[in-house]
């Protein structure tokens, strides 16, 4: 009642001393409330508080080291990609004839590129996306027009064009290894991701099947993208790349449980993730 008669007066707020910008002293009753920390920090910065002593985050020396480290990492990524590209395009430039399965797929691709048979009439036991990619490559690289207007395709140029999509897919797969490994092992640093890229770049099987017209190259790239999206917790994109991989080769269905498991684990806490990974053992 005495307060009502005398009029309401707000309780005085305790004064806080700001030694430097970024290190404020808060009252005990508001020390753990983020709103007070945020408002007091902005207020002290507006008053022209002096900058604090360098910490680990804002130390110029550490910033320079981090920048130098990132530059070295990007140079390492570029060198690995150049190595992978050199090995794959060297294999693409070799004068080797088709495997019978390659010849079958290239025949359907040639029929689509030269004759316009995009429905791929005939006996075919594979989905059409890889063949369509080969056909588009033939239209860009290999198909020529004769003086009488007839489209033709040289045999050597046709082999090169049919194998070009698989070569490019194998090269992109090497690049995808970096973000995929970083997503699967976020606390391991950059070196495991660089090691994964290098192993994929030098893998004998990856090199053997890179410069080919088989359907496996594009399928593996799509499955790696699906694993990357599942590790990032993105259902839609993981399903999209799984569907595209199935459109390249039907064996992509075998990866559905793996992609689903990675997606489920990515949404768990670290404790549950460790328990899930330990279950098979």
Contact 217, 209 (CB under 8 A): yes
Confidence class for position 55, pLDDT limits 50, 70, 90? low
Q: Which residues contact 135 (CB under 8 A, 6 or more apart)?
A: 108, 109, 110, 112, 113, 118
pLDDT tens track for 93-145? 998 889 999 999 999 999 999 889 999 999 899 999 999 999 999 999 878 77
Cα angle value 111/114/119 (rounded, 5°): 40
Higher-scoring residue by pLDDT: 162, 39? 162
| CA distances from residue 252 to 130, 135, 199, 242, 247 in whole angstroms, order as listed | 13, 22, 22, 7, 9
Domain boundaries, the chain: 64-278
Mean pLDDT of 173-199: 94
Which helix (H) or strand (E) element contains residue 77?
helix 60-92
Q: Residue 194 CB: number of other CB atoms within 10 A?
A: 18
CA distance 234 to 232: 6
Residue 145: predicted pLDDT: 77
Higher-scoring residue by pLDDT: 272, 135? 135
Q: Among 37-46, 48-57, 226-235, which stretch is predicted with the lowest mean pLDDT?
A: 37-46
Residue 278: predicted pLDDT: 42
Residue 9: predicted pLDDT: 52
Residue 81: predicted pLDDT: 98
Residue 229: predicted pLDDT: 94
The residues facing 145 across adjacent strands are 151
Strands 18-20 and 23-24, sheet pairing: antiparallel
């Amino acid at each position: 009642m005495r307060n009502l008669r005398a009029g309401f007066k707000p309780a005085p707020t305790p004064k806080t001393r700001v030694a430097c910008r970024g290190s404020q002293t808060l009252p005990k009753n508001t020390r753990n409330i983020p709103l007070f920390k945020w408002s007091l920090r902005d207020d002290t910065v507006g008053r022209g508080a002096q900058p604090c002593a360098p910490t680990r985050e804002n130390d110029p020396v550490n910033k320079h080291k981090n920048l130098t480290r990132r530059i070295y990492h990007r140079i390492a990524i570029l060198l690995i990609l150049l190595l992978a590209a050199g090995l794959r395009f060297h294999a693409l430039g070799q004068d080797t004839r088709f495997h019978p399965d390659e010849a079958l797929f290239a025949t359907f691709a040639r029929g689509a590129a030269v004759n316009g048979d995009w429905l791929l009439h005939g006996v075919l036991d594979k989905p059409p996306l890889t063949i369509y990619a080969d056909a588009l490559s033939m239209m860009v690289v290999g198909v020529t027009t004769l003086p009488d207007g007839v489209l033709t395709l040289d045999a050597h140029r046709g082999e090169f064009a049919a194998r070009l999509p698989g070569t490019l897919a194998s090269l992109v797969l090497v690049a995808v290894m970096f973000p995929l490994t970083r997503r699967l092992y976020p606390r391991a640093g950059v070196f495991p991701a660089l090691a994964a890229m290098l192993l994929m770049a030098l893998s004998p099987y990856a090199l053997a099947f890179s410069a080919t017209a088989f359907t496996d190259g594009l399928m593996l790239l799509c499955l790696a993208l699906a694993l990357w999206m599942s590790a990032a917790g993105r259902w839609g994109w993981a399903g999209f790349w799984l569907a595209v991989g199935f459109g390249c080769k039907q064996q992509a269905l075998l990866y559905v449980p793996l992609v689903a498991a990675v997606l489920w684990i990515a949404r768990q806490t670290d404790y549950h993730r460790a328990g899930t990974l330990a279950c098979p053992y």
